Amino acid sequence: MKSNITDESDESSDCSDTTETDCNTSYFTSYENLEVHRLMLNDRPRTESYRHAILQNRALFQDKIVMDVGCGTGILSLFAAEAGARKVFSIEASNISLIARDIVRQNNFQNIIEVFSCQVEDFILPNSEKVDVIISEWMGFYLLHESMLDSVILARDRFLKDSGTMFPSKASIYACPSNLNGFYEQEIDFWDTVHGYDFSVVKQIVLQNKQQSPQILSVDNSELVAGPEIVKQFNLMNVTVEDVKQFQSKFFTSSMEKNICRGIVLWFDCEFPTELKSENSLILSTAPRCPPTHWKQTVIVLPTEISLQAGDVIGFNIKLSQSATNHRHYNIQVEVLSDEEDHPMPCNCGLARCKLIKTFMQEQDELDGNEVIDIS
């Protein structure tokens, strides 16, 4: 059973029949809507994570040169200036850059923060001086929607010193099967009875429509039917554009109790560096168990429901690839795997043989002195 969909959750940047230039124009124009910026600035987990990560690591910013890629209204640039940055180059391709300049002046940071109205691809660094830190809030739905990471990678390769730092420094995409009870109750089962009348003929039409594109929803943590699995991890210091163009992940997991799987939930975490090795990194998480963000979670609704008993093993292969017609969108393919498929190693599914192999591999890593990461 396969679900293969193209991400078109952002209609403002849907330009499959136009040129790449038109795609970019549409994309940047969409960010001239101040309501979009109000939504992002009002997202406390998002904005406070950046604020804490920057201000609690002043040594990484004090007297340093900083670049803010896609600065928007300039909030991250203001944080960097407050943290002691000597110079902040703020790059913004939309006309919101004109407002960002006014905000910078209004807060008396015009001697530190300089806002440039251009794409980072067209930016020329004054005096050919490289930067110490690159900050950017580039994440989209399921991390990669809008493909702004491509621009951040380009900025890193062109402008960041070899000793430089990326904020955030790491990012991970997670996936987990879900019963989607809240979604079904509100948007699908609603059609069973409407004001006392049988509207069930509409139900299947609505469900089929929902299966054609990713759904951006807030999923309750209680609706997850198994443990989450990592689909992909990115180290922002060395990830390449090729790394994000296409990738896939195969995993197996086991149901925690008798339940039903109606879809796959995707979310992401971002990790910020710390100046002291002994300190734990700050994590911005969009997981269902965490305070809600404007990213919510991304849901792939499966074409067929899967009934599960406690301990049942279920497997998936998830593939993401940039759309050939609009690189800011991704094709997302979810395939439900049969029990006969080979399991990846290590595997968190709970089968006895997988537990044994996983334990052996962890013991071997510990003997070799490698860090062991376990999210099961």
Which residue out of 82, 92, 146, 257 is catalytically annotated? 146
Going by C-alpha positions, the residue among 182, 334, 159 that lies closest to residue 250 is 334
Going by C-alpha positions, the residue among 10, 43, 39 that lies closest to residue 27 is 10
Asked if 115 and 101 count as a contact pair (C-beta separation under 8 A), the reply is yes
Asked if 294 and 39 count as a contact pair (C-beta separation under 8 A), the reply is yes
Spell out the residues 6+ positions from residue 50 whose beta carbon is closer than 8 angstroms to its own.
75, 76, 79, 135, 137, 167, 272, 284
Let me know if 187 is a catalytic residue. Answer: no
Collapse the DSSP code of 271 into the 3-class scheme (helix H, G, I; strand E, B; otherwise coil) and give the result.
strand
Distance from C-alpha of 175 to C-alpha of 269, rounded to nearest angstrom:
12
Collapse the DSSP code of 326 into the 3-class scheme (helix H, G, I; strand E, B; otherwise coil) and give the result.
coil
Which residue out of 92, 137, 223, 271 is catalytically annotated? 137
Name beta bridge partners: 314.
Answer: 253
Distance from C-alpha of 78 to C-alpha of 88, rounded to nearest angstrom:
9
Q: Where are the beta strands (DSSP E) in the chain?
A: 2-6, 65-69, 87-92, 113-117, 131-135, 160-167, 170-178, 193-194, 197-198, 215-217, 229-235, 246-254, 259-272, 282-285, 297-308, 313-322, 330-337
Distance from C-alpha of 159 to C-alpha of 129, rounded to nearest angstrom:
8
Let me know if 340 is a catalytic residue. Answer: no
Asked if 332 and 320 count as a contact pair (C-beta separation under 8 A), the reply is yes
148: phi then psi, degrees, rounded to nearest 5: -70, -20
Q: Which residues are catalytic?
A: 137, 146
